[in-house]
Amino acid sequence: MVSDPEILRDQGKYREIMRERSRLSTIDEAASKYEGVLAGLAEASAMASGDADPEFRALAEEEAKLLESKRNELEKALSDLLAPRDPLADKNVIMEIRAGTGGDEAALFVADLFRMYSHYADGLKWRIEVMSASETELGGFKEIIFSVSGESAYERLRWESGVHRVQRVPTTENSGRIHTSAVTVAVLPEMEETEIDIKQEDLRIDVMRSGGPGGQSVNTTDSAVRITHLPTGLVVHCQDEKSQIKNKAKALRILRARLFELEDAKLQAERSAERKSQVGSGDRSERIRTYNFPQNRLTDHRINLTLYKLDLIMEGDIEELVDALVADARKRALEGGA
């Protein structure tokens, strides 16, 4: 029971149960509608083939066509709802965007992608929190790490992992020549403290003053935190907050996500690719998606989808793209290929 005191004390477990309860309720509602449509379709089909007058039969045939269309819609909806679902689907995520090949132009595109995801999140009432950022003097980012909190965040954003290639004329280019740059994106499910056990003795925590673009100091106190996980060698650095405590908390959140990925990679080769093979080295030749600004074109190479509305996409209009990727994942899951 949801009212069980043990469950109420464990808020993580409570949220998990409530999400599953909501999902099952949605399935039950869709199944009831489907049964109602089947009953109505059988009745309309019987009337259409009966001895009634021609006008009445024509109305019944029209009704049957409408119900057939509704039946097909509900069958697809039920198929999606019953598809095997990643147990991490409802997790919040930690996204890491890094400049690859392309120097300043790649760093500027990191900022563009962060803005795109921020606008998309705003539209869904998701919450974005910057956890770490390394800005450049031109207003780009060598790297930015941020969390996204909201319903089905991991399910909808996980397919953003990989190399994003951009083709455009940089603002710093006077000759009008198109440059190709690359940016890497990693999407990690955010884990709770109870899900990933980090031993204090496994950590080396260093504190220092925060630094800004060009190396200048932006803080006169030792608030920046660097955490090294000694068993794995993972290093996380956070300096955006003025509070050392807050920076440490953010760094631990990032570390938990990365440690989960390392542990999970041992069991699931598919997810190990999300940070290693998919993210890759940031080289131009590796890519999941191409953003061609002169042609206003976006192409996702995994599902062979091309959209000629790059201007809108960069403003956060990525719903069509995300829906197509999620639908492809569900199809593969039903076929046993995911």
Q: Show me where the domains of the chain are located.
A: 5-82, 93-192+268-334, 200-267
d(CA 99, CA 104): 8
pLDDT score recorded for residue 221: 62
Task: Name the token pair of 242.
Answer: 């003025």
pLDDT score recorded for residue 45: 79
Residue ranges, the chain, pLDDT below 70: 1-16, 19, 50-52, 83-84, 172, 210-221, 267-286, 336-338
Angstrom CA distances, 114 to 42, 109, 179, 245, 306, stand at 52, 8, 20, 25, 21
**Unique residue bearing structure tokens 């030792």:** 222
Instruction: Enter the CATH code of domain 200-267.
Output: 3.30.160.20
Write out pLDDT tens, residues 60-90. Answer: 778 878 878 888 888 777 877 776 677 788 8
**Residue 269 buriedness (CB in 10 A; 0-12 / 13-18 / 19+):** exposed
Which residue from 95, 104, 112, 94 is spatially nearest to 298, judged by alpha carbons?
112
Question: What's 93-192+268-334's CATH class?
Answer: alpha beta
Which residue from 117, 111, 175, 186 is spatially nearest to 142, judged by alpha carbons?
111
Write out pLDDT tens, residues 260-310. Answer: 888 877 766 654 454 454 445 554 446 899 999 999 999 999 999 999 999
